[in-house]
Each structure stands twice: as C-alpha cells, then as structure tokens.
C-alpha cells in the first residue's frame, strides 16, 4: 500500500512539474515574440505634388503613385497627388496650390518663363540618361530620304506640347528649309486624337496611313522592347520596320520642379529624396500616405492598398540626377525658332497651327 501511494505521489508531482514547465515555456515564448511594429505615419502635414498626365490620369497614377508615396515617406508628409493637364499645368498649380511637380521639358521652360519656378532634378530614362532625342521616321524602303522629300506627303505629329514628338521635328523641318505650315509645302499633317498620341503616330506610319511621322526615341525603344515594332540593334537593317531620316540633338526630358514660393529647405529635401532613389527601392501603397485628386482607394483598380511596388519599374524610369536650367537652352532656342509658347509666334519663321487638345 505504501509503495502504491508513493507511486501515485510521484505521478502527481511529475504532472505538476510538467504543467509548471509548460506554463514557463509559454510565458517565455510570449516574451520572445517580436513586438508589433507600428507602420510609420505622416508627421509634417500635407505636401501637394503634381504629375503631368501621361496619356491618361489612370496611367499617370499607375506609374507615379509609388513615387509620390516614396517622397512622402522620405520627408514625413502625406502627399496629395494631382494629375495635371499638359495644356493647363500652370493653372492647375495655382488652382490646387501644388508645391512640387513633374513636367516635360517644354512645359518646364514655359513655366520657368511665366512663373520663375525652381529646378529640382532631371529624370533619367534610356541610354542617354536625362537627355533624349526626337526622330522623323518613314517605313522601311520608303522613297522619302530627306525632310524636303516630305513635300506633298502626309505626316503624323505627336501632341503639340511634346518636346520630342512635335517641337524638335518642326524645328528640324524649318532648319532644313521646309515649313510644314506653308501652303506651298503641300504637306498635310495631323495629330492623333485621344490618348497614346505618340504610339498612334508611329503605328500610322507602320500601317502606311501616313508617309512619315514624329517618333520620340524613347517611344521607339519602348515599343521595340515590348515587341510591338521591329527597331534597334536586335534586328538587322532589313528586318526593321522603320528608317530614321532625321534626328534632333539630345535635350533634357521630364523634370521635377517647384513653385518659387516653395520653401528652399523643402525643395532640397525633395531633391535629396529623388537623387537617392535606386532601382531597388520599393513603396507600400497606403492611404495614410497618399490622396489622389478624383480617385478613391481600392476602387477601379488604380490605388490598391497594401500593394508593394518597385518605384522606378512602375514609373518606367531609371532615377533622377542633378540638372541645370541652362541645359534647357537648346529647347528654348527650338521653341523660339518654331514660335511656340512662351515665345511670340509672330516673330518666328514658322507658326504651328492652333493647339489641338
């Protein structure tokens, strides 16, 4: 009997010790679990950032919302993002109180002239970094070999406020002694309606609807990389869809700038963030950090909370680098020659037709 009681007591003691050990292990495990990390939140208020519309507001958001979140998180501001109309960028800046914005280089020189805006940084994309060029293309085997051969032909331009899809081509024609707006030139030209004007101009030439067209070099490269046209070193000359009969000198393209009223320290902070952007940087999409004028989160598929995006890949860019206002003088001289805003068309040798929105 004594031995049986001793055995029962040993079993009870073992169970008590086991229970105590489990409780201690549970407590230890709870203590070893990492503390819940709080997501960072904006602490400095609101920063209003504008992005010139690329083809559509939706595409602009798809490409640059991650960039806006990145700027906000680097600086501690909640970003209010505004897609800006190319033809009314200056008015949008005034209307919404936009402080920092990304525009193309032609819009930059117009706003610099009219509003004395501050340079922040130049956008890098493609083989020439923040510089690029515009071309005039014809179909492979076309009898058109020079710009003067465009007499009596049909030509497709890109949007009129496009530095490398309208301005540089018009300037090249004038310098070659060919004025497309001279009735004696016999040339008919048009600008495609709707979105994706650059691509439409290129496709119209490819399909034979137009004899020649304006093609930004970056668009030729992008369409070739995505398999939509045959162009570039990966194809033999015989395989390529196009021949380039003229190309502009390189000039700056997309540009980050700020209004002259924007605090210099804030401008420098934005500049530092942009210049520090790498191809590996990611942004987690979060409504705590971003509001987009006219759009709601998780509706329509353009703002998806929780999605993690590679910033440069989404934006289709390589990053940003230092830029000088004087780098844009090459485009200023072209705009003066062509007679485009902000310069008086009456003083120019060529006067483009009224802007087509």
46-128+253-323 with 134-248+327-331: one CATH topology?
yes
Distance of CA 353 to the CA centre of its chain: 27
Q: Find where tokens 């071309």 sit.
A: 135
Domain segments of the chain as ranges: 46-128+253-323, 134-248+327-331
Please give the pLDDT value at position 34. 47
What is the tens place of the pLDDT at every residue in 20-29?
Answer: 454 554 444 3
Q: Roughly what angle, to the nearest 10 degrees, separates helices 197-207 and 217-225?
A: 70
Q: Torsion-angle region of residue 107: left (phi > 0), alpha (psi -120 to 50) or beta?
A: alpha
Instruction: Name every residue whose Cβ is closer than 8 Å to that of residue 112 and which is 6 or more positions away in sequence.
Output: 257, 325, 328
Q: What confidence score (pLDDT) does residue 350 get? A: 52
Q: Which CATH architecture has domain 134-248+327-331?
A: 3-Layer(aba) Sandwich (3.40)
* pLDDT at residue 35, rounded to an integer: 46
Q: What's the pLDDT at 84?
A: 97
Q: How confident is the model at residue 352 (pLDDT cuts 50, 70, 90)?
A: low
Topology (CATH) of 46-128+253-323: D-Maltodextrin-Binding Protein; domain 2 (3.40.190)
Phi–psi pair at 37, nearest 5 degrees: -85, 125
Please give the pLDDT value at position 311: 97
Backbone torsion region of residue 336, taken as left when φ is above 0, otherwise alpha when ψ lies between -120 and 50, otherwise beta: alpha
Per-residue pLDDT tens over the stretch 313-341: 999 999 999 999 999 999 999 999 999 98
Label residue 270 by pLDDT band (50, 70, 90): very high
CA separation for the pair 269, 291 (Å, rounded) = 20
Q: Residue 104 pLDDT > 50, yes or no?
A: yes
């Amino acid at each position: 009997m004594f031995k049986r009681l001793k055995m029962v007591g040993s079993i009870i003691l073992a169970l008590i010790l086991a229970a105590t050990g489990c409780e201690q292990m549970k407590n230890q495990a709870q203590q070893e679990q990492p503390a819940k990390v709080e997501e960072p939140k904006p602490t400095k208020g609101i920063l209003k950032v504008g992005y010139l519309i690329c083809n559509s507001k939706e595409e602009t958001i798809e490409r640059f919302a991650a960039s806006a979140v990145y700027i906000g998180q680097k600086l501690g501001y909640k970003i209010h993002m505004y897609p800006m109309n190319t033809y009314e960028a200056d008015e949008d800046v005034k209307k919404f109180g936009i402080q920092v914005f990304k525009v193309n280089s032609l819009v930059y020189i117009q706003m610099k002239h009219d509003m004395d805006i501050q340079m922040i940084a130049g956008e890098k994309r493609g083989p020439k970094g923040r510089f690029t060029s515009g071309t005039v293309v014809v179909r492979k085997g076309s009898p058109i070999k020079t710009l003067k051969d465009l007499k009596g032909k049909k030509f497709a331009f890109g949007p009129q406020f496009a530095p490398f899809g309208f301005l540089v081509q018009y300037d090249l024609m004038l310098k070659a002694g060919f004025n497309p707006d001279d009735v004696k030139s016999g040339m008919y030209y048009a600008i495609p309606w709707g979105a994706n004007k650059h691509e439409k101009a290129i496709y119209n030439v490819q399909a034979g609807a137009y004899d020649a067209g304006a093609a930004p070099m970056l668009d030729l490269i992008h369409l070739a990389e995505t398999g939509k046209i045959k162009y570039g070193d990966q194809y033999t000359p015989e395989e390529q869809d196009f021949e380039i009969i003229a190309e502009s000198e390189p000039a700056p393209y997309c540009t980050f700038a700020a209004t002259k009223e924007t605090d210099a320290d804030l401008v420098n902070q934005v500049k530092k963030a942009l210049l520090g952007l790498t191809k590996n940087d990611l942004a987690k999409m979060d409504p705590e950090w971003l509001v987009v004028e006219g759009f709601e989160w998780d509706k329509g598929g353009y703002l998806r909370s929780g999605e993690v995006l590679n910033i440069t890949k989404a934006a289709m860019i390589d990053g940003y680098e230092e830029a000088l206002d004087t780098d844009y003088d090459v485009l200023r001289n072209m705009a003066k020659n062509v007679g485009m805003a902000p310069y008086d068309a009456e003083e120019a040798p060529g006067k483009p037709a009224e802007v087509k929105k």
